[in-house]
Amino acid sequence: VELNQNIQKIFQDYKIKYPSEITSLDFMKFLYSRFDLNNDGNLYETSTENITHRKPTIIQFHPSYTYEDFVRGIVAESNGKDIQYKNVNKILGKLSKEALENPFADYVLIIDEINRANLSAVLGELIYALEYRGEEVESMYEVDGSQKLTLPPNLYIIGTMNTADRSVGHIDYAIRRRFAFVDVLPKKLEDNTNIFFNTSDFVEVAKLFIKVGEHDVINFENAENSDFLSNDFYAKDIALGHSYFIAEKKKVSLEEKNNYFKMRMKYEVIPILNEYLKDGVFNESATAKIKEIEKRFVQTY
């Protein structure tokens, strides 16, 4: 009871002194591991870890992205007279160092379009470090007097990619087995407090990819390919996602939503469907279906 009372007071003081996005539960676990209650009733600090926030870091890969951009590299610095070159940690190197120094906080790195870069070249020796968390690996660059680099277990790496993009095939098996893969499939949503959903157009477009069940039940996980889809493709790999059919209420009013959805269909969805037709994703039987959808949006909005 006495420990709880003392920790609670420090908890309140620290929450004010160190604004943080760390959850209250994790913060309390951190404090319990940091302080000891002695016989005199006073708390004594037993650890020197820093308190830090847990806001995710988001970056995007592209074809010219390199190890020197992502992990460690050489930068040029001017001191007013000369140019000096030094090795520094980049995004992943910095996060790894911070996460090692703050084991009670979770760090999240989100890599958008992870398949766009040459992953073997960008990750280098980290392919090993991804599998053996907490173990040191030798980096190509020495930073702060050490070539050692460690990916701690409290650093989480999430990669996102579009399976319709053919560059997905560039991810080799050595990298694939170090990640868990989760499909985010198109899903029929409903209007709620945050969004409007264009249900009717979503269903019509879904019918180009899968055989829709009775009462317009949409299930991309278990559905059969539609007759419009080429035999070389699977619907869940190339179907258009539900984000095309969402309008955020904080950005689009009730009066604006119909025109908003019409513009998205005319200038975003239908052009992609026509590209799919040209590229052979759809067979010729889809032509009439796409034209049928397109007729409803011939007016300029």
Domain count, the chain: 3
69 with 161, same domain: the answer is: yes
pLDDT value at residue 300: 47
**202 and 120 within one domain:** no
pLDDT of residue 301: 46
User: Which residues constitute the domain of residue 29?
Assistant: 2-45
User: Looking at the whole model, is its pTM more than 0.95?
Assistant: no
Q: Within a domain: residue 249?
A: yes
The answer to whether residues 72 and 34 belong to one domain is no
Tokens of residue 73, six digits: 């590299």
Tell me, yes or no, whether 89 lies in a domain: yes
* Within a domain: 186: no
Distances from the Cα of 270 to the Cαs of 216, 276, 290, 297, in angstroms? 21, 10, 8, 9
Note the pLDDT of residue 71. Answer: 92
Residue 213 burial by Cβ neighbours in a 10 Å radius (0-12, 13-18, 19+): exposed
Same domain, 113 and 15: no
Q: Within a domain: residue 72?
A: yes
In a domain, 50, yes or no: no
| Same domain flag for 264 and 205 | yes
Q: Does residue 129 sit in the same domain as residue 199?
A: no
For 239, the 3-state DSSP assignment is coil
Q: pLDDT value at position 169?
A: 58
The answer to whether residues 13 and 97 belong to one domain is no
Asked if residue 265 and residue 202 are part of one domain, the reply reads yes
Within a domain: 7? yes
Mark whether 203 and 155 lie in a shared domain. Answer: no
For 214, list phi and psi in degrees, rounded to 5: -60, 150
Is the distance from CB of 2 to CB of 37 less than 8 angstroms? yes
Which tokens is 204 given?
């019509």
- Residue ranges of the alpha helices (H) in the chain? 2-17, 24-34, 67-70, 91-101, 119-123, 126-131, 173-176, 199-206, 235-238, 257-264, 270-279, 286-295
pLDDT tens, the chain, 301 aa long:
777 777 778 778 877 776 666 677 777 777 666 666 555 555 555 554 454 456 789 999 998 999 999 999 888 888 777 888 889 999 999 999 988 888 877 889 999 999 888 888 898 888 888 888 999 998 888 898 888 999 999 999 999 988 776 555 567 788 888 888 888 899 999 999 999 999 999 999 999 999 987 788 888 988 899 999 999 889 988 999 999 999 999 999 999 999 999 999 999 999 999 999 999 999 999 999 999 998 887 654 4
pLDDT at 44: 58
**301 occurs within a structural domain:** no
Could you give the CA distance from residue 118 to residue 255 in angstroms, rounded to a whole number?
A: 46
Do 115 and 14 sit in the same domain of this protein? no
Tokens of 95: 């996060």
In this structure, are 18 and 79 located in the same domain? Answer: no
Q: Do 79 and 168 fall within a single domain?
A: yes
CA distance 262 to 246: 12
pLDDT score of 226: 93
In a domain, 133, yes or no: yes
